[in-house]
Chain A
């Protein structure tokens, strides 16, 4: 026993904070959340086991749940590709050795670092007011802008644009990835008179595939978890007509406005499963379109 501690003691000592955190704030809560998802629980009375009823209600009767899935998925499928395309396009423009590259890089990254703040969500809300800046600009070119924030057909686009505006971090990762592609490949292609477009899809895309994949997974997970901006822009309730009721916003309100902790936990588990499935699909499909440098030959 003494020997065991002499050998392993220091390692365990340094892991004490992590152990406490892992069991009390990660593993324990996850299991408890799973348990709660099978119960009815309003904080004031002890949880009551109801089996699969939460999930049954969710899938069969809860239109708001389906709406929240639709909103969340639409947001992810619109904002993530848009963001990545912007990020790659700008990264390719910012060549190595270009003048003022540091300046541009910082400028394009700025919205991303400020973007998570409530200040920017508030700003965005004001930009898209009916008499706000966006509609004033549209009026200049003769377009009458819609009621962005009050019309359920348009409200989600304001958030998509906010997401795309923050393309900074995938851009930085793309820049690093592009630098790793050997210059000689492009020079050789130039000599063979390959067009810029051909160079893009025959050299850049395949060699950048691991980086594209990395960015895709990261941004997708992030987009599924969007909360603060949707919460602020929708006035806290996913309005108008649930068109901004992201699953995270729905979950928050179920738990902390209506104290339906059991049902909110089952929503949380669905969110976790969705993220797990998408991450899994991305990893699985990556075998077919991502090739890593060291596995060629």
Chain B
């Protein structure tokens, strides 16, 4: 038997700890390296698009370098005025549609959610079930009849088909999200307000709404992003270039087939996603929480 002195034992323990820490650190570094490479691959296309937007056209293809030989900032103003109309018009259209859609969706969904979460009425369970069933219907099934309806009442070639449905609580997903949220708020608040003589509308507006900002914000943010990116709706309902939203204008850019405008095309593509990117930076917390807790897209 060899007896270890205390000194020897502590030395062995120390060496063991050093080796273990070293191994751990090496594992962590490997992981970070791996993740860094992965993220580089992930964002490479986006970076390439940004760089291409200031490259001379003959350097865009067949060239993987991320540094242009000269910076053509002129692509931005040229692209902005590159179509029959300037992008000022398309941006204005997109902003009108998006802002109204956000207001409409947030208000109408919270209206319906308040009824389902807080009020008692006949047929509530049936209506709730019907509402949930609309979640599963693909948009493509209602697309044609909706188009025919809007055609009949003369709304095609106006923004109305893109805005009015938003005021009619068509997004069951957000209603459901808000119902869940409203249910967590203490009932005592409603009751106290009722005793003070508040009407149901007053309770909705002065008690429930101010306490539900996170749910309202999630709804507003996702409605913003989806409406801004929406392509199918504008594609069907807007035929006059003066009414085009930004995605439709971009599509016009590529169908023009003039090969010499790729720099401008990318410049406008980037400008088209800037609002989404800004939203993402500022509201990341809401977006990530919204997805993690409810499976939003």
- A interface residue numbers (CB < 8 A to B): 4, 7-8, 10-15, 17-18, 20-22, 24-30, 32-33, 36, 43, 90, 93-94, 99-100, 104-114, 116-120, 122-127, 129, 131-133, 136-137, 140, 165, 169, 172-173, 175-176, 214-215, 218, 221-222, 224-225, 227-228, 231-232, 236, 248, 251-252, 255-256, 261, 264-265, 268-269, 271-272, 275-276, 279
Does B68 count as interface, using CB distance less than 8 angstroms? no
- B interface residue numbers (CB < 8 A to A): 31-32, 34-35, 38-39, 42-43, 45-46, 48-49, 52, 60-64, 108, 111-112, 114-115, 119-122, 124, 127, 130-131, 134, 136-149, 151, 165, 167-170, 175, 199-201, 204, 225-226, 228-229, 231-232, 236, 247, 250-251, 254-255, 262, 265-266, 269-270, 272-273, 276-277, 280, 284, 287-288, 291-293, 295-297
Q: Give the secondary structure class of A's interface.
A: helix
Q: CB distance B144 to A117 under 8 Å?
A: no
Q: Give the secondary structure class of B's interface.
A: helix
Chain A residue numbers with a CB within 8 Å of B225 are 113
Q: CB distance B142 to A25 under 8 Å?
A: yes
Q: CB distance B138 to A131 under 8 Å?
A: no
CB < 8 Å A-B pair total: 250
Most buried by B among A131, A268, A269, A276: A268
Closest to B145 in A: A29
Q: Say yes or no: A275-B134 contact (C-beta < 8 A), given A8-B122, A261-B144, A265-B144.
A: no
**Cα separation A25 to B137 with both chains bound (whole Å):** 12
The 9 closest A-B pairs by CB, nearest first: A11-B121, A21-B168, A29-B145, A14-B115, A119-B269, A11-B119, A176-B292, A29-B142, A8-B121
Q: CB distance B231 to A231 under 8 Å?
A: yes
Closest to B146 in A: A29
Query: Which of B61, B231, B295 is A218 in contact with, Cβ under 8 Å?
Result: B295
* Pairs A–B under 8 Å by Cβ, sample size 19: A11-B115, A13-B115, A14-B115, A22-B134, A25-B165, A29-B144, A90-B38, A104-B39, A106-B288, A117-B228, A123-B266, A126-B266, A131-B61, A136-B64, A228-B231, A255-B144, A255-B147, A268-B144, A271-B138
B80 to chain A, nearest CB (A): 15
Most buried by B among A25, A118, A126, A175: A118
Chain A residue numbers with a CB within 8 Å of B148 are 32, 43, 261
Chain A residue numbers with a CB within 8 Å of B291 are 169, 172-173
Query: Which of B45, B136, B247, B262 is A275 in contact with, Cβ under 8 Å?
Result: B136
Chain A residue numbers with a CB within 8 Å of B272 are 117-119
Query: Which of B64, B138, B288 is A272 in contact with, Cβ under 8 Å?
Result: B138
Q: CB distance B121 to A114 under 8 Å?
A: no
Chain B residue numbers with a CB within 8 Å of A271 are 138, 140-141
Q: CB distance A26 to B170 under 8 Å?
A: yes
Chain A residue numbers with a CB within 8 Å of B35 are 93-94, 104
**Cα separation A169 to B226 with both chains bound (whole Å):** 15
Q: CB distance B231 to A17 under 8 Å?
A: no
A112 to chain B, nearest CB (A): 8
Chain B residue numbers with a CB within 8 Å of A43 are 148, 151
Instruction: Please give 12 more A-B residue pairs, beta carbons under 8 A apart, in addition to A18-B112, A172-B291.
Output: A10-B121, A10-B200, A11-B124, A21-B168, A26-B170, A110-B46, A117-B273, A123-B266, A126-B52, A133-B45, A269-B141, A272-B138
Q: CB distance B146 to A12 under 8 Å?
A: no
Q: CB distance B168 to A20 under 8 Å?
A: yes
Q: CB distance B226 to A116 under 8 Å?
A: yes
**Cα separation A43 to B152 with both chains bound (whole Å):** 10
Chain B residue numbers with a CB within 8 Å of A175 are 292
Q: CB distance B145 to A36 under 8 Å?
A: yes
Q: CB distance B127 to A232 under 8 Å?
A: no
**Cα separation A106 to B251 with both chains bound (whole Å):** 28
**Cα separation A105 to B285 with both chains bound (whole Å):** 11
